Chain A
């Protein structure tokens, strides 16, 4: 196979770059070692659209964060993913923290964040009455928001695929060889250009060709997710002002009306270690207690952990490395927010390098999934009339129909696993965590993909649910 640009990694950065390149006439291939888009760092994070006051002025992080934030609304309309600009508060619980709040405010101004305000206790409690009343002051950022991390990543990738970008899954990069006018990847793919967007593996991919120039350390973040009953806990993203005791944890609503609490920050060695631990989860509880002393942990529906790709350079690494190669590495927080801007920046570099022409046939719009539970009875009935599968509830916790699941199986990047379905249309995301709907979802996947039950996977190869038929091997 011969392409102009080969992107390694179908996370949110790789997918954003792919979507921008889809606007050109370039042939683009995205290679992903996992079985789906959004399968590692991009799938397990806080889902926050940061305002942009955190990073030092003039860093890539600062620039791309503020720009990505400004792009998010229009993008969410074009690509139809869940996003809400709910604002954030950095809460300060000690008088001596005031000057740090002030410094964050100034830094935000320098970075070009609009609308920042410093709030006093009364205003904070009027806005968020559940916040502990010993709060002193806070930095309020109205431009901050929340996004569905799967929704954003999948939407970017689908729109890229709709416009001709090719995605190969279960395809880890094993070898890269320099050729006369580009690269040969895994002995099978010829490309003029490589974008290394390999997340926590970006250093290893880089080292397949070049000497060390950076290292990526996975930083684990563990989280609690609470059910809808807890949704009134807060309507704003609540950060804690970092103190000498550490960075603190956030408490935030999600776009699906859950409450997310976390993360921890543990530097680890194993790039696949997404375990949760007793200690980590206890640490979150202890720290979150500072923000809200009355969190209903009996509404926890799951806990999980994700890995942030932290580089040794303290900023995003977005740079050319010789001819026909760009590293997009160390995309830790605020990477999700920055993704649209990263996509634009990287694509622009490649357009220049390869003199790519715009594609006049490019379609910027993507249709979202029919989210039945958000429809009026009339709209829902119209769907049922079209396909009675929209009248069959599969996931009772989240009210997801068979019709929606069938949609997820038939997109330009179809869901091929139970997790893939779950990230696209949410069956199993509710309080029973798939207890009731798993066999039904497996059944729909079987029919959609014309495979047998023992081929249905949770995610990657090796994660099959069914090991045999009854009495087999007795």
Chain B
């Protein structure tokens, strides 16, 4: 095998996060830069998201997924940033040695810095332990989206959707528009995991019922799905006997959560957060392995691509500073404490000396709060306070910290509670 080539920066993944990170790195002075993308084109999952609603924050207009991706791809081409398609990274170590494979063979790169932007995958039926048969007709919602939107093929005509994540909601509408009957979206939690606007535009507008606090307790059909049984669940999410009803259908779509794809990160000895399942990063979005940064859905699952792009830009800028030796060394890191209904925050720690004047902290709450409030404390000082009519697990929140507020702090805490 050939000797490992050297690169200043390698971005693993050419989806929205990878593209924005690469562009930001280039604009901040990184010349020797390469994107490795496993699919046959850049753009990642955006390519199959043909609905609109992308780009409201970034471009102040409503774009489809492919349009949003195209805006970045054009800039990548314009900046003459190198990329390899149909290329899969199969190994990464903590010395930033990257092994990848494509039709030209197995190759190695020794990178000075790496940005992880591999995205996430859907939680499959197997991981959900839904009892019953295992026939054809059970798809992750994103798989169905690929079949319908890219291949022009209908994976079913009578559909039940389990889980009200955004992809499930979008696919409810999509299947209906392509001529399928969508009987119900079944959600085990008492609230939807998706964005409010998707519930209105994808379910309400098409009279598709959303059955909250329900789950699927059986799947029938030996070769192809014939029917599913749904039941109400109690507060511990156990099915309540006597509430079962069966729905005849040929298809079950699953939209039950996304899991960051961190198999490579783990090979590189990167510490993974128990809740986000993404790398634990600091204010520079740098992992515990110096020079490896992470952004986008591999870091934590986002709702809006606009926020992915922004986060990725931050990672790109910081990686550029690292490569150009202008990123200060880590000194004292403060772990950001989360309290109340705040489940996690990204970054999970900051180095007040290293941070920019303004630092975005993104987080999610663990339950629906009506008339909620968000507080950030530096030691015993409240440095941020905002009231919100509604806080829900399906919508990511963010706060912006000022360097001057936390520069001399020993502890930082984010909390959220009902007023």
Q: How distant is the Cα of A471 from the Cα of B239 in the complex, in angstroms?
A: 36
| CB pair A435 B124 closer than 8 Å | yes
Q: How distant is the Cα of A472 from the Cα of B156 in the complex, in angstroms?
A: 11
Question: Which listed segment binds B: A154-162, A195-203, A452-460?
Answer: A452-460
Chain A residues in 8 Å Cβ range of B224: 462-464
Known contacts being A272-B222, A435-B121, A472-B179, is A466 close to B103, with CB within 8 Å? no
Is A100 interfacial (CB-CB < 8 Å)? no
| CB pair B102 A391 closer than 8 Å | yes
Chain A residues in 8 Å Cβ range of B150: 439
- Selected contact of A469 from candidates B102, B137, B153, CB within 8 Å: B153
| CB pair B143 A391 closer than 8 Å | no
| CB pair A384 B103 closer than 8 Å | yes
Q: How distant is the Cα of A278 from the Cα of B231 in the complex, in angstroms?
A: 13
Nearest B residue to A437 by beta-carbon distance? B143
Q: How distant is the Cα of A434 from the Cα of B136 in the complex, in angstroms?
A: 12
Q: In the complex, how many angstroms separate the beta carbon of A69 from the nearest chain B beta carbon?
A: 31
Chain A residues in 8 Å Cβ range of B103: 384, 388, 391-392
Is B146 interfacial (CB-CB < 8 Å)? yes
Q: How distant is the Cα of A453 from the Cα of B179 in the complex, in angstroms?
A: 19
Is A467 interfacial (CB-CB < 8 Å)? yes
Q: In the complex, how many angstroms separate the beta carbon of B123 from the nearest chain A beta carbon?
A: 9
| CB pair B143 A435 closer than 8 Å | yes
| CB pair B151 A453 closer than 8 Å | yes
Chain A residues in 8 Å Cβ range of B333: none
Q: In the complex, how many angstroms separate the beta carbon of B293 from the nearest chain A beta carbon?
A: 21
Chain B residues in 8 Å Cβ range of A276: 129, 131-132
Is A245 interfacial (CB-CB < 8 Å)? no
Is A189 interfacial (CB-CB < 8 Å)? no
Q: In the complex, how many angstroms separate the beta carbon of A403 from the nearest chain B beta carbon?
A: 10
Nearest A residue to B263 by beta-carbon distance? A397
| CB pair B146 A470 closer than 8 Å | no
Number of A-B contacts defined by CB within 8 Å: 150
Chain A residues in 8 Å Cβ range of B146: 439
Is A109 interfacial (CB-CB < 8 Å)? no
Known contacts being A459-B223, A469-B153, A471-B179, is A432 close to B136, with CB within 8 Å? no
Is A314 interfacial (CB-CB < 8 Å)? no
Is B304 interfacial (CB-CB < 8 Å)? no
Is A119 interfacial (CB-CB < 8 Å)? no
Q: How distant is the Cα of A468 from the Cα of B155 in the complex, in angstroms?
A: 7
| CB pair A463 B178 closer than 8 Å | no
- Selected contact of B155 from candidates A278, A385, A391, A466, CB within 8 Å: A466
Is A348 interfacial (CB-CB < 8 Å)? no
Q: In the complex, how many angstroms separate the beta carbon of B90 from the nearest chain A beta carbon?
A: 6
| CB pair A467 B156 closer than 8 Å | yes
Nearest A residue to B220 by beta-carbon distance? A275
| CB pair B90 A300 closer than 8 Å | no
| CB pair A377 B153 closer than 8 Å | no
Interface hits, A420-436 → B, CB 8 Å = 431-436
Is B1 interfacial (CB-CB < 8 Å)? yes
Q: How distant is the Cα of A454 from the Cα of B101 in the complex, in angstroms?
A: 32
Is A173 interfacial (CB-CB < 8 Å)? no
Q: How distant is the Cα of A391 from the Cα of B218 in the complex, in angstroms?
A: 40
Is B147 interfacial (CB-CB < 8 Å)? yes
Q: How distant is the Cα of A260 from the Cα of B137 in the complex, in angstroms?
A: 25
Chain A residues in 8 Å Cβ range of B105: 377, 380-381, 384-385, 391
Q: In the complex, how many angstroms separate the beta carbon of A118 from the nearest chain B beta carbon?
A: 37
| CB pair A467 B250 closer than 8 Å | yes
Query: Which secondary structure characterizes the binding site on chain B?
Result: mixed
Is B325 interfacial (CB-CB < 8 Å)? no
Known contacts being A276-B131, A378-B1, A435-B140, is A471 close to B178, with CB within 8 Å? yes
- Selected contact of A462 from candidates B99, B148, B223, CB within 8 Å: B223
Chain A residues in 8 Å Cβ range of B239: 278
Q: In the complex, how many angstroms separate the beta carbon of A198 from the nearest chain B beta carbon?
A: 18
Q: In the complex, how many angstroms separate the beta carbon of B97 from the nearest chain A beta carbon?
A: 13
Chain B residues in 8 Å Cβ range of A435: 121-122, 124, 140, 142-143
Is A59 interfacial (CB-CB < 8 Å)? no
Question: Which listed segment binds B: A207-215, A232-240, A301-309, A356-364?
Answer: A301-309
Known contacts being A439-B143, A465-B136, is A300 close to B88, with CB within 8 Å? no
Interface hits, A294-341 → B, CB 8 Å = 300-304
| CB pair B135 A470 closer than 8 Å | no
Is A63 interfacial (CB-CB < 8 Å)? no
Q: How distant is the Cα of A162 from the Cα of B143 in the complex, in angstroms?
A: 37
Is B217 interfacial (CB-CB < 8 Å)? yes
Known contacts being A399-B90, A464-B136, A465-B136, is A432 close to B124, with CB within 8 Å? yes
Is B157 interfacial (CB-CB < 8 Å)? yes
Chain B residues in 8 Å Cβ range of A466: 147, 153-155
Interface hits, A238-294 → B, CB 8 Å = 272, 274-278, 280-281
Nearest B residue to A279 by beta-carbon distance? B131
| CB pair A474 B223 closer than 8 Å | no
Chain B residues in 8 Å Cβ range of A431: 121, 124, 127
Chain A residues in 8 Å Cβ range of B131: 275-278, 280-281
Can you add 12 more A-B contacts, CB < 8 Å, to A433-B126, A436-B143?
Answer: A280-B131, A377-B105, A378-B1, A380-B105, A381-B1, A392-B86, A467-B157, A468-B154, A469-B152, A469-B154, A473-B179, A474-B178
Binding site for B on A (CB under 8 A): 225, 272, 274-278, 280-281, 300-304, 373, 377-378, 380-381, 384-385, 388, 391-393, 396-397, 399, 431-436, 438-439, 453-454, 457-474
The 6 A-B pairs with the shortest beta carbon distances in the complex, nearest first, are A302-B126, A462-B223, A433-B124, A458-B136, A388-B103, A463-B223
